[in-house]
Chain A
């Protein structure tokens, strides 16, 4: 399973033309599809959030429970993303630069979290660290709380965002090859120097790409966090969980106000993503053999 596919630059093929009517029909169908399923939902979030005016909108963020939800979301992302980033760097170096038996199995295992349902992703940690989990008695003996507390939320978030950075880096590093690294070694560079000065700069756009996707998912994760969180107001609620609570209390404006934060994040992510894709495509390829003097 691949991570988000880097979308190709749309370019028009004027050569083989579809009949005029056909084209109009398809474009209309496609637009209606997108309008219905993307544009209207996004518009709805802001419409509902501002339904009672701008004042009420901002009031939603003064609420202390709301603020701790925002704080917790930021904290969880601040832990999960760097962890998966470091993992991604290690995994991509091992996988892209070396040959070893079992490599494709390893890559498949790294992809696993993509395939697992969010609820199951949370459940597996409850089964390990919950009060009835394998380590349950041990943890309560030490007075350590993982499930229904912040560590559990962090763990579940790390799980669901596990492959993002690694997959992007593996793809890009495999495409870039290892000759420059070998050249660096021949010039006397150590492993660290080679990694910092050669590999990392080459891969930087792919790295950023993976990081922003990882971050978007980390902040927006709902199902997995819902299972491990315990929904304790003001303590173990991230923004998505808080949205759910507000919604179930029929406090729609506040719910959509919180949701609008996440929507803005999503839109920002899309903008940065498009920019990075453009940069990744614009980067000069180095493995081209020059064909003229």
Chain B
């Protein structure tokens, strides 16, 4: 682009302040986000490929990844199912207190994770409100087991699917369902064939958001999990443990891998959102 063309491009911005605001934005972004993240990758790469592989393949690390990811997956799936139902109920049905119920769906988003952590532990511990009867009736222990982690991760992911599904449900044109019904489809068939395909992108987006949140979650899990290596040690906790033991290399390697996973998830979620938006606009 010639200098004159560049001048013209800049002049055509019409509204003032482009240079200033973009400059501040880029500077702040670099300082707070980009440089620290890059530094982490650089530190990790300084370990060398062998060093990284060594740090990541120790049994304890592998176990924690398996634990974090599998439980996050189950939690996100449960949230996908129950969150969709919750979204459906809130949009389609009317009942007393519906608005309050809709508002409290956001609580896990607003509540600090440490508070959630100790509250959930208190509930599900052996002498807790639910823990005690549960243990007495079924012998099932929740606190200090993977099951407790699952409960915590369901909690933090709860709002995501509900909130992504609600706008789509709201925009759904009822005519499609009425048409299906008039053609003889049962309610269940209509939901399965007409409604579900339209809300599927939103459910997937919410699922991915819940999953991404669950994988990195620390505060709500660290109290209820008991943090037993190889058994209930999630990845974020492992990072902290390694830091406390001055195993910076190990902590950095794990953090770098977590960052890569975060970016992949972020781009995936953006793609899902674009797909979802595309479908909504097209209909």
Contact = CB atoms under 8 A, between A and B. Distances in A.
B283 interface: no
Interface residue tally on A, bucketed by range: 35 or more
Interface string B93-133: 11100110111111111111111101110110000011000
Contacts of A263: 111, 115
A1 B94 contact: no
A87 B105 contact: no
Contact of A111 (B89, B114, B159, B266): B266
A38 B251 contact: no
Contacts of A247: 118, 223
Contacts, number: 312
B14 A185 contact: yes
B13 interface: yes
A236 B96 CA distance: 46
Interface string B11-42: 00111111011101110110011111101100
A97 B15 contact: yes
Main DSSP-derived SS at the A contact region: helix
A12 interface: yes
Contacts of A18: 92-93, 187
A1 B266 contact: yes
B104 A38 contact: yes
Max count, chain A CB within 10 A of own CB: residue among B102, B216, B219, B258? B219
B103 A274 contact: yes
Interface residue tally on B, bucketed by range: 35 or more
Nearest to B238: A119
A16 B178 contact: yes
B229 interface: no
A242 to B, nearest CB: 9
A26 B94 contact: no
B88 interface: yes
A114 to B, nearest CB: 8
B243 interface: yes
Given A19-B187, A123-B251, A124-B37, A37 B155 contact: yes
Contacts of B129: 40, 44
Interface stretch (A55-63, A200-208, A215-223, A284-292): A215-223
B270 interface: yes
Contacts of B105: 7, 34, 38
B177 A182 contact: no
Given A4-B106, A158-B32, A262-B111, A41 B116 contact: yes
Given A159-B36, A222-B112, 13 more contacts: A8-B166, A16-B181, A27-B89, A38-B107, A87-B28, A91-B21, A117-B215, A119-B237, A120-B236, A120-B255, A247-B118, A252-B122, A259-B119
25 contacts: A18-B93, A29-B82, A33-B85, A33-B86, A44-B119, A90-B28, A91-B29, A94-B21, A94-B22, A98-B18, A111-B266, A117-B218, A117-B235, A119-B236, A120-B40, A120-B259, A124-B36, A221-B112, A223-B218, A226-B218, A240-B113, A247-B118, A262-B112, A262-B115, A266-B111
What 8 A-B pairs are tightest by C-beta distance, nearest first?
A117-B216, A220-B112, A191-B16, A12-B94, A223-B218, A222-B219, A119-B236, A124-B36
